[in-house]
Structures are given as C-alpha cells and as structure tokens.
Structure 1
Amino acid sequence: RLVQEGRITAEEAEELLKKLEESQNRGKRLLLLKVIENGNNIVNISIPLSLAKWGLKFANTYAEKYGEKIDFSPEELEELISNPDFKGKIVDINVPEENTQVIVEIA
C-alpha cells in the first residue's frame, strides 16, 4: 500500500520486508538468564535474542562482583546470534561459597 501511494519505492519496500522477516526469525530465539541460589531458581528470565548484548553486559557485571570476568566478546556474541543453528549455554558461573550459579543460554 505504501508503494501504491508513492510513499516508498519498491526497493525500499523490499528492504523493509527483509528486515521484518529477519527480526521475526530472530525473535523466535530466546536468551535465558537463570540465577540459582541454594538449589532454587531466584531469577528465571527469557528475553528475545535481540537483547542479548544487554544480557552479556549484565552477566559480566555480576561476574566482576565476584572477581571473575567472562571471556566473551560482543563480536563472538554477534556471531552466535547470526548462527540460527546455535543453541546452548554461553555463560555458566558457579560461586560455591555462596551456593549460587548464574546461567545464560540461547534457546
């Protein structure tokens, strides 16, 4: 309809459709964030993979609190996001003295 009304060109419409399709395909994948304390899930969040960079930043902040750093770059994360076949854990932090575990995974 936008093309018919002359608001956008056919090429622009095609590009918009491609981006919409890409975002819908990515939206089906989730980033799961779990914090387990004393065997109980105290945090269990599922967010669209498009927010994965935020999840990595959150996990790094939490890990640094305990003197650890996640050896995982935004470029590596972008590579995993781009691979539609990848599913699995990207972060698994255990803090035995506090009986706490942080898990970040792509599902």
Structure 2
Amino acid sequence: MEERLRILKMVEEKKITAEEAAELLKALEVEEEKEIRRPHRRIRWLKIRVTDMNTNKVKVNLSIPYSLLSWGMRIAGRFTPSDILEEHGINFNDLLKAIEEGETGKIVDVYDKEDGEHVEISLE
C-alpha cells in the first residue's frame, strides 16, 4: 500500500507521468502476485535419493542447498538428454518451473524397472 501512495505522490509532484505510474502500478501488482504464490516455509534443500529396488539399499542420498539449485539445474539440463527424462515422464522445464514457484515435497518419483532403481527428488 505504501508503494502505491509513493507512486501517486510522484504523479502529483509531476515527477512521473500518469502512463509511467500505470506501468509502475502494474509491475507492483505482478510482484505482489509473486509474493502470494511463494511458500510460507522457506525451502532449504533439494534431496535426491536413489534406491536399489532389489536390495532396498540406498545407492545415492544427496542434499543440495536450495541457494545453488537453480544454477545447478540449468547446468544439469545441458548434460542430461531430455529423451531420457521424458522416457520416465519428467519434463525438465516443468521441473524447473516447480522449483522456481516454490513447490515443496516430492517433485519426482520414478521407478526404473530396467535398472532396478527407485529415484525420488524432493524439496524441503
């Protein structure tokens, strides 16, 4: 609310035009909408767990700090063939979007019967 009043005050003082104010107000609405969509709980980790389905032994148990996540996912996207992901029903862009929008909980749960592995990816 305070930001809106500042914008209106700038129009009143003729520091900006009404058109510029409209653009600023629209941008402010977009930011407020993003704030509403953000989770109340702060995400700290991306967790990746790979389990051997035959022995139930954990093969990979990896935790990546959330602060490095977006950067790491973009790099991983360059080296991970999209057809392998799609074969398991994973759309890499949808995965990135879920992360950027602050999804929590399990975001990937894949049973690879051919390799005998269960892959779980979650945000906590």
Given the two structures, how large is their TM-score scaled by the length of structure 1?
A: 0.52
More strand by share: 1
Structure 1 outlier segments of 4+, above 4 Å: none
Counterparts of 1:90 and 1:32 in 2: how far apart (Å)?
A: 10
Given the two structures, how large is their TM-score scaled by the length of structure 2?
A: 0.46
Coordinate RMSD, CA, aligned: 3.5
Question: Is the alpha carbon distance of 1:102 and 1:79 closer, same or farther for their aligned partners in structure 2, counting shifts above 3 Å?
Answer: closer
Decide whether the 8 Å contact of 2:45 with 2:65 is kept in 1: yes
Describe the superposition over 1:64-107 as per-residue Cα deviations: whole angstroms up to 9, x where unpaired: 18944512416x63453343xx3211111111233201111101
Counterpart AA for 2:63 = S
Where in structure 1 are there 5+ consecutive unaligned residues? 1-24
2:49 to 31, 34, 44: 34
Decide whether the 8 Å contact of 1:33 with 1:55 is kept in 2: no
More helix by share: 2
Counterpart AA for 2:51 = I
Counterparts of 1:99 and 1:52 in 2: how far apart (Å)?
A: 27
2:93 to 55, 73, 76: 73
Decide whether the 8 Å contact of 1:49 with 1:81 is kept in 2: no
- Give the deviation of 1:41 after TM superposition: 0.8
